[in-house]
Structure 1
Amino acid sequence: MALAAAALLVIFLTAGLRSVTLLALGAIALAVTAAALWWVLSRTGVVRVLAAVLAVGVPIAVLLHYRAVGLLWVALVALALWIPAVLAGRHALSEAAAPPPPAEYPAARARQPFLIMNPRSGGGKVERFGLAERARAFGAEVVLLDPAHPQDVAELAEEAVGRGADLLGVAGGDGTQALVAEVAARHDVPFLVIPAGTRNHFALDLGLDREDPATSLEEAFTDGVELRVDLGTVGDRVFVNNASFGAYAEVVQSPEYRDDKVRTVLRILPDLLTRRGGARLTLRAGGVVVETPQAVLVSNNPYQGGDPAGLGRRERLDTGRLGVLAASVDGAAQAVAMLQGRRHPGLAALTPAEAVIDADASEIPVGVDGEALVFATPVLCRIEPGALRVRVPRHRKSAPRPKPPLDWRRLGRLAFSAS
């Protein structure tokens, strides 16, 4: 509260009545810039070029104006005070709403562990950290995937369980993790996540260090515990992170996407956002019906509060609920509201146990943990509570705390009650 007050005080004391103009101009510039970015994504040709110029030019013009009237240093000082004020406020609210840690269970020593490793994942982390050798030192059977000869990882895991494997693990991307996790859950065998992929959001939300997969591997074997976490299902496919429908799923289906992501997104998004392309979706979840959303994201447990795009982290993986976000953005005003984290009629955030996505097409593209697939409609998504036993190090990063939209009124009550 003190930092926020200081930021406003600096503006009012140095700029006087001009402070009102200073604040209003900044707010207008922010709204115009956000609207211009929406036009960049949703338009093509000359309009897109002009919008890009506007998105870059407006902030520069405002800064030049502040400098011309001698208020640039005031804006920079106020911004320097405001940023830590927002961070401190969110931290205070997160601390007040911190969830209890997930339950941990003793982990029996694995006598016949079986691990699948993708040498190409994460830019070669398997070889760089010597993961195969470290795993074999603990008595694990290790299969190194050969990109030149694709293998069915689910089948490999099934065969290993048939031979008596009492621990399954994967060093690779989230898509591979999900396929083997499904086998582990079906046979009630512990599953080991080795964060050797490029992103590994599942590992991140388990508290694993994605920069040091070797330590995660060794500590899981030497001082590991078990967690019971949920799994999501889309049709007959398991996902550990999310399944996406609509705009994003349409984009990743494009053959050009992997070679040139930015150009492909800019080419396809305008038709999707203005509803000129793609299937028209209908979402039914928790008694709510959402007609023609441009994008639907169904996650294995909800993403943190204040994250309308579902791009952040999940504070828990054991709530027994899906996180469902459906976005219907019909113009710049709604785009600005979404970017600012505000709720509006075009954004539905639900936490049901199951969701159904239907469409005016017999099949629709679905992005499942980043992989491009096609499903017959309607598509049923469900949560399987506590379906997976995960082996993790006893000492790992604490679960991420939620970062809700900053409620200054609530923050003020907390500040004064503590004083």
Structure 2
Amino acid sequence: MEEHMSVDLNAPAFRRQRWAARTSLATAALAVLLPLAYGGLGGVLLLAAGLAGAAVTAAAVWWTLTRRGPERWLAAGLTVVTPALVLVLFVVTLGWVILLTPVLWSVAVWSGRYALRSAGTRPKRMKEHRARSVRRPFLIMNPRSGGGKVEQFRLREKAEHLGAQVVLLDPEEHQDVTALARAAVAEGADLLGVAGGDGTQALVAAVAAEHDLPFLVVSAGTRNHFAMDLGLDRTDPSACLDALTDGVELRVDLGFVAGRPFVNNASFGAYAAVVQSPAYRDDKIGTTLELLPDLLTRQRGPQLTARIDATTIDGPQAVLVSNNAYRTGDPVGLGRRERLDSGLLGVLGVRVDSAAEAAALLLDPAPQGLAVLSAREVVVDADHPEIEVGVDDEALVLPAPVHCRIAPGALRVRVPRKRPGVPTAQPRLNWRRLRKLAAPAGRG
């Protein structure tokens, strides 16, 4: 009886939520059944052909990465030809249906997320805190980062106009940014900031966290992954400086690998070994293709072991430990982090030893070769005394075992109040939950 009363009190909102859930389920079912019904037996065979094509493509990618010479080029051709043939087969067989199916899936996803948001399942965003005014902000700027964004966007001039002290790094001389930041704190700086790459940001961020000072990120690097997940404007780095006059603070986590800070991730295995090569900076693709066959087939490099709480990953070719988890189940948000304040490291471990296992990564909903975990601490060990590690794209060699940990809420990041890159938090589609929402009143 109480449930019916609650429904009556919220009748308009409840009806919208229920119909959105029903629309999502109906269009998702139609997106699956329409091609099968239109194609008849051919539709079923077409589905089997699509799955087979995906498996062949994944296997061909594996062969491309683990072979050299003519075998590699044949495999590379297969990775291009196979999906193209499958697409042509779908278009010829299904015609207009193949164009309607993506539209139906889009409606299903949009309606499902609307229903889940209405049901109160929207993910929480990072909490914003009031930012106190600062009197002596100190910024380090790398004029070479991002192809010269410091000069292009006149970042030094704007920062100094807003009252900040700016130090430009000398492109011809290595400078210890940690020492520069510590010296600035000793002289009374009450905010530290960086216009540069993620590696430089991490080093200065650790000093800011140590002294409980606000930290300013200016998106002047090449990739700006940390800035992206903070919602900062990556097209106009100068907009980040608005945080000095109209900003808020986010309490975010900071990762550490063997005592060294990182804001994005620490990678072990194949990628970490590739970036160690002196030739990588000048020829990234060529160096990667040259080294990967030996690394992926275990003819080169250490045998890794990763321990995450009670779970052990034996012999992975790659392990990625990130400051908070990356999205893995949502293709739209792949490679992004929903939040930076969960207090947990994200862990991705990959072990693939054959073309069949490579295909399973794509087709199996829970492939054995992929581990997706979260933990406060991770230990990566090896059968070698040292392990190659890529820390926020900086190449390091560290003694084994390597301990990774996270410092929850250690960093006070000052960001502009208005940030165009802040994504709208979207709930993950939960079909079981949608079925309950779509049930008639009084059921489910």
TM-score (structure 1 length as normaliser): 0.91
Shift of residue 413, structure 1, vs aligned partner: 4.2
Change (3 A) 1:411 1:25: farther
Given that residues 293 and 327 in structure 1 are in contact (C-alpha distance below 8 angstroms), is that contact kept between their aligned partners in structure 2? Answer: yes
Q: Unaligned 5+ residue runs, structure 2?
A: 1-23
Q: What secondary structure sits across from 1:298 in the alignment? A: strand
Stretch moving more, 250-259 or 92-101: 92-101
Specify whether residues 344 and 6 from structure 1 end up closer, same or farther in structure 2 by C-alpha distance, changes over 3 A only. closer
> Map of 1:85-234 to 2, 5 A cutoff?
85=107, 87-88=109-110, 91=113, 95=117, 97-218=121-242, 220-234=243-257
Structure 1 residue 81 corresponds to structure 2 residue 99: no
Among 19, 22, 26, the residue aligned to 2:50: 26
Taking the aligned partners of 2:208 and 2:271, their CA distance within structure 1 comes to 29
Aligned pair partner of 2:67 in 25, 39, 43: 43
- State how many pairs are aligned: 414
Map 1:211-290; keep pairs closer than 5 Å.
Answer: 211-218=235-242, 220-290=243-313
Asked whether the equivalents of residues 306 and 403 of structure 1 are also in contact (C-alpha less than 8 Å), the reply is: no
Aligned partner of residue 50 in structure 1, secondary structure: helix
What TM-score does the superposition give when structure 2 sets the normalisation length?
Answer: 0.86
Shift of 1:395: 2.3
d(CA) in 2 for partners of 1:86, 1:329? 34
Contact 1:323-1:350 at 8 Å conserved across structures: yes
Alpha-carbon deviations, 1:32-66, whole Å to 9, x = none? 11211121112222322221222222233334445
Query: Retained in 2: the 8 A contact 1:7–1:77?
Result: no
CA distance in 1, matches of 2:213, 2:86: 59
Asked if the contact 2:58–2:359 (Cα under 8 Å) also holds between the matched residues in 1, the reply is yes
CA drift of 1:105 comes to 2.1
Residue type of the alignment partner of 1:84:
S
Q: Which runs of 4+ in 1 moved over 4 A?
A: 63-67, 89-97, 406-419
CA contact (8 A) 2:328 2:334 kept: no
Q: Percent identity?
A: 58
Deviation at 1:102, TM superposition (A): 2.1
Distance 1:212 1:99 in 2: 28
Distance of 2:325 and 2:108 partners within structure 1: 23
Q: CA RMSD in A?
A: 2.6
1:362-408: per-residue Cα shift (whole Å, max 9, x none)? Answer: 1111000011011011111011111111111122243564685x655
Question: 350-359 vs 237-246, which deviates more?
Answer: 350-359
Matched, 1:316 2:339: yes
Alignment partner, residue 387 of structure 1: 410
Deviation at 1:336, TM superposition (A): 2.6
- Tell me by how many angstroms 1:99 deviates: 2.4
From 348, 359, 365, the equivalent of 2:371 is 348
